[in-house]
Chains A and B, each alone.
Chain A
Amino acid sequence: MAIDLRTVESLAPDQASLNAATKLRKPAKWPLREKEAEGRLVWGECQGSGSNPYRVMFDQDDHGYKCTCPSRKFPCKHVLALMWMFADAEDDFGEGSVPDWVTDWVGRRRKTSATPAKKAAATKGESKSLTQANVVEEESPKPVDPEKQKRLEKAAATRAAQTQQMILDSLGEFENWIADQLRLGLAGFLEEHTARCRRIAARLVDGRAAMLASRVDELPSKLSSLPREEQLDATIQEFSKFLVLSRAFRANPEAPDVRAAVATAMKRDDLLEHKDAEVAEGVWEVVAALFKTQRDGLIRQSTWLMRIEPEPIRFALLLDFFPVGGGYKSSAGFTPGDQFEASIRFHPANRPLRAIIEERKSTRSQDARQGWPSWDSEAPLTAWMNWFEANPWGEAHPILLSPGRIGRAPRQGRFWWQASDESAALPLATEPHAALLGCELPQSVALWDGQQGQLLAASTEFGTCHLS
């Protein structure tokens, strides 16, 4: 049963969803819109407010659908928008081979007979109308009462100032807490780090310093991953980062990178208009897609991009957070190894790293994949040190490794990457895949956090291997 506008209307849970969907019916928001040649599947990627696009798909036969956004409305505005655009202008959708993430979804939906998706039950007293949604979108903004506008702006400024003060107060409390840990002895902190970090993180959350709170909450897990003899040094290093960050915020709370590290990052729309945001064009490869469930109930999705053309190589981090239990699956993100041409816009910072995809121009097919450019075998931590000097509270940065291989420290049991000429060695956080052990690795990319590295990708005799 083909999708038509009536179907879209009947599937929508409410008018608000249609209103939201109509705002998404702009091709610029959809770097990908495709359909199966002579088939029933339609899919697309919608650039929402997150760094990673949402993947949206539906089945024309039975109107089944899926979107990777965390919305609790079914269908969400992205599904409605895609269906709406398809119903309006199917020819605008290119024909493509069904991507793995659509195949996986259809495979899980296995059915032997098509059962149409349920039409949403109408909310009592509410009608749903595409026409009405269009009207909402087309309506010119109502003239603004200047007095009211002034009052709104003043209220916003007051709230912002209050928030700022709350953050400053919580940072003051946090610095006192750090001083207390030193005074009482870090041996005691290391015995009780989970409980102590939990308590102070909760205070930071109350004080609106959410991002910093999350880092503090994750500190125990980071320390526990290290050998005992390294935990003291790591604690001192992390505390020093927190302290430097706190002072940076006090000195300049409006600095975007500092604010993002303490409270919240700039919204996508604001970043797109920010005059100081750097934009880098090129061919980018997804070197890793990392998912971590945090203690605060969020899943942190870190997608690491590496620009392979033009040189010099640089990195970008797409960072998103989703609630646990929201049905989010790691398969919804980019697949490591994907390559595409894009403009990447960086959040303003010294030596920026966190970014969004401003515009995705094309995706490289498997046949057209490009190899990695060669890189100089300078000391592997030089890039980290240069970045860290400019971002002294930074968490982790990718580093390029020259020819080397992975060995094991006997008795300690820890794995290390060592340069082939034995000029450098770096401890690894986790045991690498068995296939890499002993293998010559002409090129590798690792994520270095100041204490240990995590291999993200490596070129091997078996081809380029992505390890996340």
Chain B
Amino acid sequence: MSQPVDPRVLEPVKALWMTGGAAKSAAPDAWSAQLDSVAASEAELRLLALVGQASQIALVPKCQRELTFRNGLPKLQLPVLEEQFRPAFRRILGADKKKDRLHRLITFLASRGWVAHPLDWLPNSTESGEGLPEVYAPWIDWVSRARWSETDADMVPDEENWHDFYPAERIKALRVLRRQNAAEVPRLFLAKFPEENAEIRFRHLPVLADELGDHDVELLESLGNDRSERVRNLAHSYLARLGKVEADPGAIEGLNDFFKKVKGRLKKTSRIDPIPAKNKSAWTRLAKLCQSVPLASLAEAFEMTPEEVIDGWKFKVDDRANCALSAMLAFSASDSQFDRYLTHLIAERWFDADGVAPLLDRFTDDHRLQLLEGALQNSDLEFGDLTSWIGGCVGKFPAKTIKKSKAWKRLLEVAGINENENRIQTNNLDPWLFTVGLLVDRESAPELIDILNQRGIDQFDPRLQLLQFNASLPTSSS
């Protein structure tokens, strides 16, 4: 190897070249033999070669500032997707990058006990975690922060360590605390919410939805003056569920335009029937009323109990009234009342995409399962209408249930259409097949794939990718 040259002796040479001109006079003495014996122009070129080559060999990179390091990406509680399944996962991921579709794919993966390989997918820095399985909380926090301090997996949030957590991890830990000591959570929120911004307050508040009770009232009433409308509305909704909200008398009076009490055949029973709204402004008024008057107030106005109102409701009279009632129940029904309403809705076979929408945020996976089962068996809804109902309820349905549905029959009709002749209809196939891929269980997925192949959807058609992935992906043993 060449004799090393102290890089500092080359600085004068470089400085001269930077400004322009001959640098031979500044060259190290060790090189004079190679430079003095030739013409000036040649000497400059030789000097260039020597300086360049010496720099390559002699200079060792050195960072002038101390480097900062992050903690490594935290390990999640589920194993990373095995290598053999990653190409298929990446293909599905790459096909459509819309956020809700991506979240559903990630949820599907988690349902089988896997998390995405971080080189294939990491949450982005704006991700709040809504719609993503809780298992990703550590990554959500890691990506969104420049520094990340370790929190013990078993650490319990309290006033002292509140800021040692980043939001997604804290929410996850608070849910655990809520189940162990429900009253401690609102107490913590009372102490720490004043230090947090509206986004954080809003993200934390849903922790109260589980075990909602009188221990939450003080906090919820204090949030009635919160600067954020979203926070105020959610707090109001929780108070309504606890029966702590009294409706405006004028609003209650207004309900008489839209609801009437009817005596049942058996004199002892009564029910509330809708009075169909006659025009658009009436519908708007009805919708607004039902978003502000709690179910308890409606029931009281007609001298009934909330349970009687729910049990007596006839879904087949007026869809708009159904939607309005759903909105009322979504914000103000207690958990047991909500369950009762859902059971009644399913028994009455009222599966309306618009009507169910306000209820979605309160659905547990059990609710979703019941609703989807009911809809597949008894409704005209297409698969596209069901997608938002799925949530964590993935891979639960055998092919038998799916094949019996009108949605499946409709899908097969469209699958038989020549794409070149009717692109508008066949464009539906992609989201429908994605939904079927989410719904069907692993054992049944091959059967559906076969049917679709016979219907003319090629086995390599990208629209079948999620179904095929479903069929091939085992549940992890972890």
Contact = CB atoms under 8 A, between A and B. Distances in A.
Interface of A: 98, 100, 103-104, 106-107, 110-113, 175, 178-179, 182-188, 232-233, 236-241, 243-244, 247, 366, 381, 385-386, 388-389, 392, 405-412, 416, 418, 424-427, 433-435, 437-440, 450, 461-463, 465, 467
Nearest to A464: B83
B60 A438 contact: no
B70 interface: yes
A236 B418 contact: no
8 contacts: A106-B458, A179-B44, A187-B19, A187-B20, A241-B52, A409-B63, A434-B118, A438-B69
B51 interface: yes
B80 to A, nearest CB: 6
Contact of B20 (A188, A406, A427, A461): A188
B143 A425 contact: no
Given A389-B1, A439-B72, A182 B65 contact: no
B122 A434 contact: yes
Interface in B6-58: 14, 17-23, 41, 44-45, 48-53, 55-57
Contact of B55 (A179, A188, A237, A418): A237
Given A182-B20, A366-B84, A408-B67, 16 more contacts: A111-B419, A113-B418, A178-B48, A182-B17, A182-B48, A183-B44, A185-B21, A237-B52, A243-B48, A385-B57, A392-B53, A409-B67, A434-B73, A434-B122, A435-B119, A462-B118
Query: Interface range on chain B: under 10, 10 to 19, 20 to 34, or 35 or more?
Result: 35 or more
A385 B4 CA distance: 12
Given A178-B45, A185-B20, A233 B72 contact: no
A450 B119 contact: no
B102 interface: no
B458 A416 contact: no
Contacts of A179: 41, 44-45
Interface of B: 1-2, 14, 17-23, 41, 44-45, 48-53, 55-57, 59-73, 75, 80, 83-84, 87, 91, 117-119, 122, 143, 415, 417-419, 426, 456-458, 460-463, 465
Contacts of A416: 63, 67
Given A175-B45, A179-B44, A237 B63 contact: no
A178 B48 CA distance: 10
State the main secondary structure of chain B at its contact with A: loop
A98 B458 CA distance: 14
B41 to A, nearest CB: 6
Contacts of A411: 65
A107 B18 contact: no
Nearest to B417: A112
Contacts, number: 170
A236 B14 contact: yes
A406 to B, nearest CB: 8
B14 A232 contact: yes
B1 A112 contact: no
Contacts of B68: 407-408, 410
B119 A240 contact: no
Contact of A239 (B18, B23, B52, B63): B52
Nearest to A448: B61
Contacts of A188: 20
B75 A425 contact: no
A457 to B, nearest CB: 11
Contacts of B49: 240, 243-244, 247
Contacts of A184: 20
A397 to B, nearest CB: 11
A62 to B, nearest CB: 10
Contacts of B41: 179
Contacts of B22: 183
Contacts of B56: 237, 240, 385, 388, 392, 450
Q: 7 shortest A-B CB distances, which residue pairs?
A: A240-B52, A185-B20, A407-B67, A438-B70, A435-B118, A106-B460, A438-B72
Contacts of B75: 461
A438 B75 CA distance: 13
B444 to A, nearest CB: 23
B428 to A, nearest CB: 14
B463 A110 contact: yes
Q: Which of B45, B61, B84, B456 gathers the greatest number of chain A CB atoms within 10 Å?
A: B61
A263 B463 CA distance: 48
B65 A183 contact: no
A232 B55 contact: no
Contacts of B62: 425
Contacts of A232: 14, 17-18
Contacts of B61: 425-427
Nearest to A100: B87
Contact of A182 (B44, B71, B417): B44
